[in-house]
Structure 1
Amino acid sequence: MVLILVSAALLTVTTVGMMRTRDQVDVVGAYAAPQAATASDLYLALSDLDAQVARLIMIGDSESLSDSRLDALLTYRQRSNQVDADLSQALNTATTASTRTQLRTLTSQLALYRQLAWEALAVQEGAADQVPGRPPADTLGYYSRATTLLHADLLPSAKSLRSASETTLNDAYSGQRSTARWSLALAVLFGVLGVILLLGLQVRLARRFRRLINPALLAATLATIGLVVAAGVVFTGETNRLDAAQRDSFAPYLSLTAAQAVSYDAAGDTSRYLISGNPEYVQQDLAAKSKCLVNGGTCGSGGDDLSAGLGAFGRAPGSTGPGVLDRWNAYQRDHDQIVALSGDGQLATAVNRLTGISRGDANFDFFYYDTAVSQITASRKAGFDATVADARHALAGWTVIPAVLMGVAMLLVLLGVRPRLAEYR
């Protein structure tokens, strides 16, 4: 009877542990991680959205820069659709009333931002004798309100959502580790007790019936040991897989996405510098953003916090060219030259250096940098998805395997004991 109870406990512990582990892997891979990725993507898209508005205002209606204006307009629409999709996804997966309220507030603020941005562009479109880099005062007034709204309200809200989703993800990882730890400990405990009882039964039968080895009981003992060892391998392997997925893939993905958002905002500062009535402030803010992109830390006034600088991410997969840090530094040099040209009164040349598509122009060098960053982020995300898929695959069948093994073990015990009892009669 005690052996049956211990076997039932071992069966329960392994089955429930495997089911909970499977559910927690699904939470990580299908809910918590996608939620964190959506929030991070929202922050990135909002950063570039405002950068494109600044670019459109800087270009104005210049015919010579019509290609750049079209590119900025298309990018703005792409980011706008991206923001809408992220907000919709976040609302669909929100689990608390406070999160839903925060998302609805952000949606309302976004509508106001869009209104102010398009009013700025509409005023500019109706102005005569426009000069790139010198928009009308009313345009600057509307845009100043729009970019202040974005940096003071929209981005902090998006950052808060991202932090909350990362906390949810970390809680999911902690829950899986806790489940694996306790399930493994209890499986070993009941497994050892089961093996001791089986060995004791073997010894007892050997003494009473003078049979040195009972093959059926030996097989039952091996089945019990096999279940504990196999379950331990699965519990430990799942924890190691998810830890590796977080450490090597998803955490770097989130960090690099955050850095990419900061770099979009910093690139927007180059356009803002040329059109701003307070360029010194813009320059200081960009310098702070660039410093944290290089070294990590806090990026500008009220900016994001980066755990590591761009140098930690190396090169894009398969690339033998400069790493992402070197590519960013190239853009930073372009910005410094644009500032110098503007300071010397060469505004038209500064605008051309910013919008040009040749190597050494800011637009080209930023694209060169951003391509490498996007390739690395895609690689990290793909690595995470593959590891989570492996974790799910490793759990296949483990809701029934414990029942099969313990059922076989108990059947073997009956087969091993019954002939001896018959012999006793």
Structure 2
Amino acid sequence: MAARAALRRRFWATVPARLRLLRAATLLLATAVAALLLVAGLGLNGTWDRISGWDAPRTTSAADLDLALNDMDAQAANILLSNGDAGKGRLRTPYTKAVGFYGDARRATGHDLRTLAVAAQGSPADEKTVESLTDGFAEYQELIGRALENDGHHGGRPAALADHRRATDLLRTRLLPAAGTLVSSNDTAFTAEYSSARATLSAQLTALLVLGVLLLAVLGLLQWYLARRFRRILNPGALAASVCTLLAVVLGTQLLSASATQLRVARHDAFDSVVALSRARAIAYDANADESRYLLDPGRRTQYEESFLAKSQQLYGLKGATLSTYDAELAGTWQAYRADHHDLRFTGEFRRELDNVTFPGERAAAERTVRAYAVYQRDDRTVRALLAAGKEREAAEFCMGWEPDTSNAHFGVWMSALNRVADINRAHFTSSVDAGRAGLGGLLPWAGGLLGAAALLTALGLRPRLAEFR
């Protein structure tokens, strides 16, 4: 009992003991709030680094790989289609451009594979997928090389077609599914990172508010005790410390809330659209390749026609539509959408983008993309009509030509419009990351400084009162 009474006298029973206890509680809580903000700041800095330097790039690299593989096969088909008979009757402009684009796509594929190999480290499943892709890509190049070599000889077209079929089958059964798996895997990892960061921010915000309220309560108790014990209305030091604490909590709350908002904008408002549009580009290049394959390989025309329609449905889905009804249904559903932006009677990647329109200028750019897509779809019917009329060369020229009002020219307009929508979302993704980092540099030092000032002001405010008991 004596020991308990001694402790009570030391830590609470006397006025100096009470003042020291309140001062210690204030300093401890101020330190806890400062430590919480420091941990939150370091965590956010790491999150922004991972999102901008790791999660987003590896997801877009996987999507770019998908596109580059599709572009390679499209250009390989275009080379064979425009080469004529061992170069005789060659469509020179389409052939030259196809050769150049094939080389560009091959180099892009190699670059993307190297990037993904680095990104896959630590994930056995992704490492295995990238390894399989690399081996398959080497086999694909060998088959295309043989096809091009055979097509350079008189009478070599049947052998070239056989090699191209094997290459295309390899692409469709192994390479593209593996690339799609990487897109989904990396995007899922990004989503997990985002969800974890948001949950952490929510918990930190709750802890900040609890600790901030406790700190303000202790300062209020200190102010009340000083006023009651020393017959003074206010203690300037404690009052200034309370103001500093309140400002620090407000700034910390603003930092965490703004960071959560910037994370949501970066991940969902911007990057969801980037992923949808990246998939749309890859599907578009694959559909364009199906047109060239359709012209090149008479034995598989039914297969490639069905494949083209399936990819069209992935982009702008119309239930039950066939190639003969697709254009009219597209026009009708699009007109309904233009009259009422909530009337979306179609599915697919374009629907995903229009459901996620967020930024200024994005809706207008997305609508231009769909209008350009509709023009390209009508060009496809022209290609098939020319072929059905026995005008094979005219069909190939219209499909692969680069003159105005040809299919390739309209495809380029479509891709430019799609890229514009993607650029808007990429720009806002980058600006959200930059804003998140700027918030750390702007608000965190001020909040930390104010908490330090609160602790110092509390100590200085109590110093004269404690001196009275010496």
User: Do both share a fold (TM > 0.5)?
Assistant: yes
Aligned identity (percent) is 29
Out of 101, 106, 115, the residue aligned to residue 80 of structure 1 is: 106
| Equivalent residue pairs, number | 413
State the Cα distance separating 1:295 from its structure 2 match.
2.9
Aligned AA (2:311):
K
- Do the aligned partners of 1:68 and 1:355 also contact (CA within 8 Å) in 2? yes
State the Cα distance separating 1:16 from its structure 2 match.
0.8
Change (3 A) 1:62 1:320: farther
Which residue is equivalent to 2:301? 279
- Asked if 1:269 corresponds to 2:260, the answer is no
Listed one character per residue, the Cα deviations across residues 191-240 of structure 1 (whole Å, up to 9, x for unaligned) are 10111011101110111111101111011111111111101101010111
Which residue is equivalent to 1:36? 59
State the Cα distance separating 1:401 from its structure 2 match.
4.4
- Do the aligned partners of 1:316 and 1:324 also contact (CA within 8 Å) in 2? no
Which residue is equivalent to 2:82? 59
Which residue is equivalent to 2:413? 368
Out of 383, 399, 409, the residue aligned to residue 354 of structure 1 is: 399
How far apart are the structure 2 equivalents of 1:41 and 1:87? 10
- Do the aligned partners of 2:251 and 2:443 also contact (CA within 8 Å) in 1? no
- Do the aligned partners of 1:311 and 1:325 also contact (CA within 8 Å) in 2? no
Aligned AA (2:423):
A
How far apart are the structure 1 equivalents of 2:65 and 2:58? 11
State the Cα distance separating 1:311 from its structure 2 match.
7.8
Listed one character per residue, the Cα deviations across residues 32-62 of structure 1 (whole Å, up to 9, x for unaligned) are 1111111111111111111111111111225
- Do the aligned partners of 1:311 and 1:323 also contact (CA within 8 Å) in 2? no
Out of 120, 125, 128, the residue aligned to residue 147 of structure 2 is: 120
- Do the aligned partners of 1:123 and 1:138 also contact (CA within 8 Å) in 2? yes
Which residue is equivalent to 1:395? 440
State the Cα distance separating 1:352 from its structure 2 match.
1.6
Which residue is equivalent to 1:172? 193
How far apart are the structure 1 equivalents of 2:313 and 2:78? 23
Matches within 5 A, 1:219-238: 219-238=240-259
How far apart are the structure 1 equivalents of 2:283 and 2:252? 45
- Asked if 1:103 corresponds to 2:130, the answer is yes
- Do the aligned partners of 2:147 and 2:161 also contact (CA within 8 Å) in 1? yes
Aligned AA (1:350):
A
Q: Secondary structure at the match of 2:402?
A: coil
Which residue is equivalent to 1:342? 387
How far apart are the structure 2 equivalents of 1:102 and 1:76? 24
Aligned AA (2:225):
R
Q: Greater shift after overlay, 321-330 or 75-84?
A: 321-330
Q: Secondary structure at the match of 1:115?
A: helix
How far apart are the structure 1 equivalents of 2:277 and 2:454? 51
Which residue is equivalent to 1:143? 164
Listed one character per residue, the Cα deviations across residues 230-274 of structure 1 (whole Å, up to 9, x for unaligned) are 011010101111211223322111111111111111011111111
State the Cα distance separating 1:309 from its structure 2 match.
3.7
Q: Secondary structure at the match of 1:323?
A: helix
State the Cα distance separating 1:390 from its structure 2 match.
1.5
State the Cα distance separating 1:6 from its structure 2 match.
2.1
Change (3 A) 1:152 1:289: same
- Asked if 1:90 corresponds to 2:132, the answer is no
Out of 235, 238, 255, the residue aligned to residue 276 of structure 2 is: 255
Change (3 A) 1:382 1:219: same
Out of 291, 316, 323, the residue aligned to residue 294 of structure 1 is: 316
State the Cα distance separating 1:291 from its structure 2 match.
2.3
Gaps of 5+ in 1: 129-134
State the Cα distance separating 1:398 from its structure 2 match.
5.8
How far apart are the structure 1 equivalents of 2:462 and 2:417? 68
Which residue is equivalent to 1:183? 204
Which residue is equivalent to 1:132? none
State the Cα distance separating 1:359 from its structure 2 match.
3.2
State the Cα distance separating 1:75 from its structure 2 match.
0.6
State the Cα distance separating 1:88 from its structure 2 match.
0.9
- Asked if 1:329 corresponds to 2:355, the answer is no
Change (3 A) 1:296 1:15: farther
- Do the aligned partners of 1:24 and 1:175 also contact (CA within 8 Å) in 2? no
How far apart are the structure 1 equivalents of 2:365 and 2:259? 35
Change (3 A) 1:316 1:105: farther
Structure of higher CA gyration radius = 2
How far apart are the structure 1 equivalents of 2:368 and 2:451? 55
Change (3 A) 1:296 1:44: farther
How far apart are the structure 2 equivalents of 1:242 and 1:42? 26
Aligned AA (1:181):
S
State the Cα distance separating 1:362 from its structure 2 match.
1.0
Aligned AA (1:89):
T
State the Cα distance separating 1:378 from its structure 2 match.
2.4
Q: Secondary structure at the match of 1:278?
A: helix
Which residue is equivalent to 1:25? 48
Change (3 A) 1:321 1:161: closer
- Do the aligned partners of 2:313 and 2:348 also contact (CA within 8 Å) in 1? no
Listed one character per residue, the Cα deviations across residues 155-194 of structure 1 (whole Å, up to 9, x for unaligned) are 1101001111101111121122112111111111011011
- Asked if 1:217 corresponds to 2:238, the answer is yes
- Do the aligned partners of 1:25 and 1:176 also contact (CA within 8 Å) in 2? no
Q: Greater shift after overlay, 230-239 or 273-282?
A: 273-282
Q: Greater shift after overlay, 245-254 or 387-396?
A: 245-254
Which residue is equivalent to 1:131? none
State the Cα distance separating 1:330 from its structure 2 match.
1.3
How far apart are the structure 2 equivalents of 1:174 and 1:350? 51
Change (3 A) 1:79 1:332: same
Change (3 A) 1:225 1:86: same
- Do the aligned partners of 2:315 and 2:348 also contact (CA within 8 Å) in 1? yes
